[in-house]
Amino acid sequence: MVAPTATREAIEQMVLEVFTEQGACADRIDPTALLSLIGIDSLGIAEVAVVMNDKFDLEIGLYDLEGVTSLQTLLAVVFDKAGC
């Protein structure tokens, strides 16, 4: 099975879906806000990595997520791994 193309838009949409499934209010998600302030903890960040690995066949390890504190920094890691 071929993984879907990991575009910036597809990645952003998938991350927001994961966050809202975890209880974050979509209209409170600000790219620069601390994830902890919108209710996303380290397990939520790790879940994003798992989803990105499964959905887009990216290899994002927990060590890649060290220092991720905002949506902006999380997306930068995922974009880098996806090459977009």
Ranges of each domain in the chain? 8-82
Task: Dump pLDDT digits (tens) for 53-80.
Answer: 999 999 999 899 999 999 999 999 999 9
Closest by CA to 48, choosing from 80, 13, 1, is 13
Task: Dump pLDDT digits (tens) for 5-49.
Answer: 789 999 999 999 999 998 887 777 888 888 988 888 999 999 999
Give the N- to C-terminal CA distance of the chain in Å, as an integer.
21
Confidence check: pLDDT of 4 > 80: no
Q: How would CATH label the architecture of 8-82?
A: Orthogonal Bundle (1.10)
What pLDDT does residue 39 have?
Answer: 87
